[in-house]
Amino acid sequence: MPDLPEIANVVVIGGGVMGASTAYHLALKGEKDVVLLERQQFFGQGATGKCAGGIRYQFSTEINVRLSQVSLPMLERFEEETGQAIDLRWIGYLFLLTEEEDVHKFRGNVAMQNQLGVATEWLDGDEVRRRAPQLNAADVLAGAYHAGDGLADPNGVVNGYIHAGRRLGVRPFSDIEVTGIRIEGGRIRGVETTAGSIACDVVVNAAGPWSRAIGELAGVSLPVTPLRRQMLTTTPLPELAPDFPFVIDFARSLYFHPEGEGLLTGMSNPHEEPGFDESVDESWELVHMEKAIERLPLLERAGLLAHWAGLYEVTPDAHPIIGPVSHIDGYFVVTGFSGHGFMHGPVAGLLTAEYILNGAPQTLDISLLDYNRFEKGRLIKEYNVV
């Protein structure tokens, strides 16, 4: 068992992209006394390590687009800043729209993105079919495409932040579970773990799908629900067009993107029950593959390379919670990203560090994403959730 420090200024709970980014940005801004705790054996093996790695500007709310406008350029600079390669690929996102309601909504989304400076293209059905001729797209009414969306390596991002943070003085520990949060007089005083106690003035809950349970240790009720999502990779598909984009069949929550010499594909189960089950549901996998082959017939010639499941951390409005919990001095939350956390991990960690060190973010106004919005009914629904 590692020797934990008895005292720290800040304890960050959760060693995925949110926790690693927060710890790194705290240290970068001068807070050297940071401890990062991850309950699993390796960092980034929870929700972050099991995601599809997509990064995009195409969202339906201005706040999510603005988060991307800060976060994706941070990923572009990532290797230069941290020394860690993250396999950035700007392959573009192509949304396929087959329902009139979605066409109407996405047309407004694209107009909003354009106004904010994102060069998303509106495509009619024929343009979609020309853009991606290998798809069976006879039923596609329209599409939205942005060439500046793409992919990055989630594990590379976490490891980059962990190693760069360590060089700046962050003390990261894995294989340690937080079992209690000590509060006295309405303020944070420390945490209890399976390896001992740490006295501290600030705690950051960055535990992703497990953040509700960590919240309960402090008497904080977080509206974050874990939902299983699964995906698979295929054996090589040499017939796949070299410019094949990240394709999202929106009405089906079905997606594909190039991965190695084959494809990665997933489809969200609308009937999935909340919970922490991360086993592969093979009956749903059969449903998924039937729909995937229907949309991309060449998949019929592919074999299964690997499959796995991970967890989304879903809030009632599919937007994250970033910032302090007002009734506990020193308690901060960065969670609830509802399936698009990886791409916003860089900016979310930066904003959380700014909250802690400066009292409020300077990089971006995220007052809409506060903890209190749920009890006050200020929900801001994200439409583009896959």
pLDDT reported for residue 50: 62
pLDDT reported for residue 47: 60
Residue 229: inside a domain: yes
What average pLDDT does range 1-8 have in this prediction?
A: 84
What average pLDDT does range 82-109 have in this prediction?
A: 97
Q: Is the pLDDT of residue 386 over 80?
A: yes
Q: Are residues 168 and 303 in the same domain?
A: no
pLDDT reported for residue 379: 83
Percentage of the chain lying above the pLDDT 70 cut: 98
2 — pLDDT class (breaks 50, 70, 90) = low
Residue 126: inside a domain: yes
More confident residue, 341 or 113: 113
Q: Are residues 94 and 230 in the same domain?
A: yes
pLDDT reported for residue 377: 84
What average pLDDT does range 36-65 have in this prediction?
A: 84
Q: Is the pTM of this model over 0.85?
A: yes
Q: With helix as H, strand as E and coil as C, how does the chain read?
A: CCCCCCECCEEEECCCHHHHHHHHHHHHCCCCCEEEECCCCCCCCCCHHHCCCEECCCCCCHHHHHHHHHHHHHHHCHHHHHCCCCCCECCCEEEEECCHHHHHHHHHHHHHHHHCCCCCEEEEHHHHHHHCCCCCCCCCCEEEEECCCEECCHHHHHHHHHHHHHHCCCEEECCCCEEEEEEECCEEEEEEECCEEEECCEEEECCHHHHHHHHHHCCCCCCCEEEEEEEEEECCCCCCCCCCCEEEEHHHCEEEEEECCEEEEEECCCCCCCCCCCCCCHHHHHHHHHHHHHHCHHHHHCCEEEEEEEEEEECCCCCCEEEECCCCECEEEEECCCCCHHHHHHHHHHHHHHHHHHCCCCCCCCHHHCCCHHHHCCCCCCCCCC
Residue 74: inside a domain: no
Q: Are residues 119 and 235 in the same domain?
A: yes
Q: Are residues 186 and 229 in the same domain?
A: no
Q: Are residues 239 and 94 in the same domain?
A: yes
CATH number of the domain bearing residue 258: 3.30.9.10
pLDDT reported for residue 46: 65
CA–chain centroid gap for 41, Å, is 21
* Domain total of the chain: 2
What average pLDDT does range 250-261 have in this prediction?
A: 95
Residue 128: inside a domain: yes
Do the beta carbons of residue 94 and residue 145 sit within 8 Å?
yes
pLDDT reported for residue 375: 85
CATH number of the domain bearing residue 346: 3.50.50.60
Q: Are residues 217 and 321 in the same domain?
A: yes
Q: Are residues 180 and 213 in the same domain?
A: yes
Residue after which a domain boundary falls, among 288, 311, 334: 311
383 — pLDDT class (breaks 50, 70, 90) = confident
Q: Are residues 287 and 346 in the same domain?
A: no
At 12-27, the pLDDT tens digits run 999 999 999 999 999 9
Residue 187: inside a domain: yes
Q: Which domain holds residue 285?
A: 89-149+225-311
Q: Are residues 163 and 207 in the same domain?
A: yes
Residue 76: inside a domain: no
At 281-336, the pLDDT tens digits run 999 999 999 999 999 999 999 999 999 999 999 999 999 999 999 889 999 999 99
Residues 219-229 as b or e (16 or more Cβ within 10 Å = b): ebebbbbbbbb
Residue 63: inside a domain: no
